[in-house]
Chain A
Amino acid sequence: MKAVILWTDAMIFLLLATAIAGTWWIRKRPHLMLPWQRVAQSSVGMVSLLVLSLFVLVGLLDSLHYRAALPEKNNGQVVYSPEVLSAFDTLASGLRSRTEKTYSAPLAACLYAKESIETADGKIMRDYPRLKYGGAHLADPQGELMGDVVRRAGVGAFAGLLIAMVFVAVAGWIKRSVSTRKVGGGYATLYPPYTRRSLLMTTLILSILIGAVANLAPVYHVLGTDKVGIDVLYLALKSIRTGLVIGTVTTLVMLPFALLLGIAAGYLRGWVDDVIQYVYTVLSSIPSVLLIAAAVLMMQVYIEMHPEWFETAAARADLRLLFLCLILGVTSWTGLCRLLRGETLKLREMEYIQAAQAFGVSSFRILTRHIVPNVMHIVLISVVMDFSSLVLAEAVLSYVGVGVDPSTMSFGTLINAARMEMGREPMVWWTLAAAFGFMLVLVLAANLFADAVRDAFDPRLNRTETV
């Protein structure tokens, strides 16, 4: 086995490291902790964070890539499979490998369309053929399917509930022993009872759901299969990483532009301001879909011309994804930049900035010590807000055909595939429904979390508590 670090993997790990370092840094500073404590007190914020972290977990597992060693050797050297797999693929290897012939409905035991089947006695009849894997253990699908599904779902749900309760009990016990060791249980004040209750409820509901699905998945296609028989649940789960990469790496690309140019324009004024303003006004008046389409198509041609650069197909698709993030980043920094410029214009007239100027503090130091900390709340809020719109932008661009590589699984490609399926008779609805459902939950959770964060950082909303 050989670990493969794709470009986007590196970006994700960089982001993860930044997030962990940031958390560690904030933990030591009580005034920075305060708003996050308010987030922790909001039940909506914590529940959406829980849901979001499940998505992130799937995305992270899906970012640990490797190439498996093949059994045969080439002159004593280990030969690796050309296929790049991820830790998530290994966990869900069952889902990945159990491909059917073509469409099958969720939890079905037969294909979705009738086919001519040759029976044992040589006769040809038209019927729904049995699936290779879905419900293959059933002798009489028509009679047993319902009961088996309910039974398996029930057992899975119960197991999930049991595991969750054990987990909650252990967590509670650890917390109690930690908080008794510390002075005065800090956790009890951190989470008010209603937040704890809603967190508990969400945990239980999620584990029941996951338990049921986990118990059904080995023998059924919970969300059906697509045109070439791939399990849609697997596709949807793989799409999560793409969505997260688009949402976060794009942010990573656009943030330096927005932050540096925004505060530089606001603080330095003069010709710097003029130049930056012209750049972003021009950039934001170009229709971004056209710009992205042009850039992506050029990139595509360039990649096609240099196949020797890429060891694997995955690396190629990944570079295209990264490039999409770059171009999305380049086109989407203008909004935040404008916001930051405005805020900096306001801040630079503040008297503490003038006091610093009176000490002869250099411009760079004023920017980093006085301005940046005071605009961070805007950056934080708009970054979280942008995340959901970027996930949606990927879907739209992939639908148009200028998004990710067709071999990359993403919500956009799922929706694009569903375009044809919706026109069939009978209609194949589950691909779209799965993409829709997953995207809705992800974006809704991100939005609700951003909302909770914004409320926690808004001094006007939090004034009454301190008065």
Chain B
Amino acid sequence: MSALLKVEGLVTRLRNGARIVDDISFGIKAGETFALLGESGCGKSMTALSLMRLLPDSIHVESGAVQLDDADILALPERAMREVRGGKMAMIFQEPGLSLNPVMTVGEQIAEALELHGGRRGATILPSPQPSPLKGEGVEQRCIELLQQVGIPDAPRRLHEYPFQLSGGMKQRVMIAMALAGQPKLLVADEPTTALDVTIQAQVLQLLRDTQQQSGMSLLLITHDLGVVAQMAHQVAVMYAGHIVERASRAQLFSHPAHPYTQKLFAALPDTARSGQPLAAIPGNVPPLHDIPKGCRFAPRCDKAWALCHEQAPEWTTLEQGQGVRCHLYSEVRREKGEGVERGRENGEGGRVDAAPRFSPSSFSLFPSLLQVENLQVHFPIRKGILQRVVGQVKAVDGVSLEIPAGRTLALVGESGCGKTTAGKALLQLIRPTAGSVRFAGNELIGLNARQLRKQRAGMQMVFQDPYASLNPKMRVAEILQEGMDALDTPSPSGGGLGVGEERQLHIDELLDQVGLAQAAKWRYPHEFSGGQRQRIAIARALAVNPKLLICDEPTSALDVSVQAQILNLLKSLQQELNLSYLFISHNLAVVEYLAHEVCVMYLGCIVERGSVQDVLHHAQHPYTRALLSAVPRIDGRGVEVVRLPGDMPSPANPPQGCHFYPRCAHAMEICRAAYPGATGINATHSVHCHLYGGEKKA
């Protein structure tokens, strides 16, 4: 089978000379899924845009050849390119909310694509090369067909709706429908599921697979998620700093990753099997494009690098069975080198973390409780009309109770919109809870005035999701760290004989040391740091006031896999050093499995299942937890019973009567519609809110 798309030596560079995509070659066969895997900033999306010739003004393709179906894409005039885009090669983007025009109905947008390219369906019957544009009735009929094809229920009605009336998953389906309108031979999907929740991601990936089977088109899948690659790809290319460093079939890549970078990526993934030991984090960051190392681009972060790696860029080497790799380890100049260097280098986290003895999953009640939350409720009133009357309540958090002992980690898991972040902020009193009780170290926090609350602030701090938004760009690191100490008048642990100012400076140095940053960092501004380093600063800021509990709100979701591992290691070692408790809010089950001791699963403002990590993630009882677990793409392709959730999460302004989950639940019974299930204990540490277990075990 000959290749549908052939890319040879593609080089794309910025006008100022930086090579964003550097000498990339690959081919995609018809009906095949080819995955481009890499961390952010390594040139994946720019490769895709180069293929579509949709590069921004400041970036241009310098050399190389792109052959699609024997047409030389880079040589085509712009007019012919319009036929190719959408007609032969279509693209879907990461953020479905931004890729649909908000003032056009879904039908109009699909019809637009159909009127340009839709005639190709007729062209297979008629020999005419001219596409006959579809008009009128035919267009609407075809739109409905397309929407049904991508699994949108009630397609004729949806056709006349605007994008804001659709959920994120639906919008991505509409995008796929638009891409399919031209019946392209190649679909370029740029992180198609990154912005979606796991259950929706599973739906969309399934849809892509089904569509591919039906139409036989090829798929160029761009992603950073090894799990998605494992599920979808036939061939995989791993990109690093503009180069393809390894190319292999999925099976080869997952069984024998050749390049040290690929090996590291696998090792950096959190996983239960390793939850006692530190993750193999890759030290450092992806090099910035204007400052690419002279030799191998991965050499500064590679623990197998030797002198040659820093001097000479490795050539492309083909191994057996078509696996290719760009590494000196495999080239002819390969020298025997001590293999199996597993630990990170000294400047990374690897050296700092001691393998901790694994806690046996014992009952939480053995530990003295640091934070006790009972029946926490956060309701936001919906106001309408000229008098701003309250017409309803968004029950973002609706009766959450939890307990965190000192030195332990509780994970709060759920999809976006389930109220987990709101719950975290309500604990800190950043959002005033509507009702309930929050007792921290024996003191009730709810109902305190600002001054009384300030005394309690030092005990509990928060680490935010987005390290780019959580540091004030106009303040230097030292000022950022000092702010909390000044506001709360924190006594410095190293005190004695020094003035307050000097003491604070010493403490700042200690903090930077603790989170693994150089002390010189304190006079710099946040924009000079990478995402991972910024998250370290954010952690140091929280630690500055000597808290006992850190609320970590998705602290790694904005970071790359390799950097995520560094932060997770840091959190883990800090817990051991300082006996910190964490409330870890996350949607990433693998991270939770690695870090947490106990897990609470949230759905629509309520906790549906709680228990130790073992209980919840390996013996899940609630149908929602099971669906969540099965939706996570596993890199080992382990045979998990597939539970697909239909539909989206309902709005918390109008939750379903009875059990909130029943409209999406495969096991829904009559009683589920009627009443919200109470807690049922499975064992001493594991409880679940579900009628499936209520009946027989209630006694």
Contact = CB atoms under 8 A, between A and B. Distances in A.
Task: Summarize A's interface: helix, strand, loop or mixed.
Answer: helix
B15 to A, nearest CB: 8
Given A351-B464, A464-B14, A467-B289, A361 B473 contact: no
Interface in B1-51: 14-16, 18
Interface in A348-387: 350-352, 354-362, 365, 369-370, 373-374
A31 interface: yes
B523 to A, nearest CB: 10
6 contacts: A351-B470, A355-B464, A355-B538, A360-B488, A369-B472, A467-B14
Looking at A351, A354, A365, the one whose CB has the most chain B CB atoms below 10 A away is A351
A374 B472 contact: yes
Contact of A373 (B453, B461, B474, B487): B474
B484 interface: yes
Looking at B457, B465, B474, B475, the one whose CB has the most chain A CB atoms below 10 A away is B474
Given A374-B474, A467-B288, A360 B453 contact: yes
Contact of B484 (A354, A359, A464, A467): A359
Given A354-B425, A464-B14, A467-B288, A359 B488 contact: yes
A31 B523 CA distance: 11
B37 to A, nearest CB: 22
B125 interface: no
B469 interface: yes
B466 A361 contact: no
B471 interface: yes
B430 A359 contact: no
A438 B528 CA distance: 45
Contacts of A370: 472, 475
Contact of A357 (B16, B430, B474, B542): B430
Contacts of B466: 351
Interface in A317-360: 350-352, 354-360
Contacts of A365: 487
Interface string A29-52: 001000000000000000000000
B94 to A, nearest CB: 19
A370 B470 CA distance: 11
A360 B486 CA distance: 10
Nearest to A363: B450
A354 B18 contact: no
B425 A359 contact: no
Looking at A355, A369, A465, the one whose CB has the most chain B CB atoms below 10 A away is A355
Contact of B457 (A360, A369, A374): A360
Contact of B487 (A350, A351, A360): A360
Looking at B15, B288, B461, B487, the one whose CB has the most chain A CB atoms below 10 A away is B487
Given A359-B457, A360-B457, A361-B484, 11 more contacts: A351-B465, A352-B471, A352-B472, A354-B462, A354-B464, A358-B430, A361-B483, A370-B475, A374-B472, A374-B473, A467-B290
Looking at A31, A358, A374, the one whose CB has the most chain B CB atoms below 10 A away is A358
Nearest to A466: B290
Interface string B446-483: 00001001100100111011100111111100000001
Looking at A350, A360, A373, the one whose CB has the most chain B CB atoms below 10 A away is A360
A354 B421 CA distance: 13
A270 B487 CA distance: 25
B525 interface: yes
Contacts of B470: 350-352, 355
Interface residues of A, number: 21
A467 B290 CA distance: 6
A369 B475 CA distance: 9
A352 B542 CA distance: 11
Given A373-B474, A467-B14, A356 B469 contact: no
B20 to A, nearest CB: 9
B124 to A, nearest CB: 45
B16 A464 contact: yes
A373 to B, nearest CB: 4
Contacts of B453: 360
B443 interface: no
Contact of A355 (B16, B289, B488, B541): B541
Contacts of B289: 467
A271 to B, nearest CB: 11
Given A357-B430, A358-B462, A359-B545, A464 B473 contact: no
B130 interface: no
Contact of B454 (A360, A373, A374): A360
Contacts of A373: 472, 474-475
B14 A355 contact: no
Given A31-B525, A354-B430, A361 B469 contact: no
Interface string B482-508: 011001100000000000000000000
Contacts of A354: 425, 430, 462, 464
Contacts of A358: 428, 430, 457, 460-462
B465 A359 contact: no
Nearest to A274: B388
B58 interface: yes
A352 B469 contact: yes
Contacts of B484: 359, 361
9 tightest Cβ-Cβ pairs between the two chains A and B:
A351-B470, A360-B454, A351-B464, A373-B474, A359-B484, A360-B457, A359-B487, A361-B487, A352-B472
Looking at B15, B289, B473, B545, the one whose CB has the most chain A CB atoms below 10 A away is B473
A350 B469 contact: yes
Interface string A216-230: 000000000000000
Nearest to A464: B58
A465 B289 CA distance: 11
A369 B454 CA distance: 19
A82 to B, nearest CB: 52
Nearest to B20: A467
Looking at A352, A362, A365, A373, the one whose CB has the most chain B CB atoms below 10 A away is A352
Contacts of A359: 457, 461, 483-484, 487-488, 545
Contacts of B538: 355
A22 to B, nearest CB: 15
A36 to B, nearest CB: 15
A354 B469 CA distance: 10
B191 to A, nearest CB: 20
A356 B457 CA distance: 11
Contacts of A31: 474, 525
Nearest to B428: A358
A353 to B, nearest CB: 8
Contacts of A464: 14-16, 58
Interface string B329-347: 0000000000000000000
A351 B18 CA distance: 33
A435 B10 CA distance: 59
A355 B487 contact: no
Nearest to A362: B487
Contacts of B473: 374
A305 to B, nearest CB: 46
Nearest to B288: A467
B418 to A, nearest CB: 20
Contacts of B462: 354-355, 358
A362 B486 CA distance: 11
Nearest to B472: A352
B521 to A, nearest CB: 15
Interface in A11-40: 31
A358 to B, nearest CB: 5
Contacts of A360: 450, 453-454, 457, 487-488
Contacts of A350: 469-470
Nearest to A350: B469
A354 B488 CA distance: 15
Contacts of B290: 467
Interface in B405-458: 425, 428, 430, 450, 453-454, 457
A356 B484 CA distance: 7
A362 B453 CA distance: 12
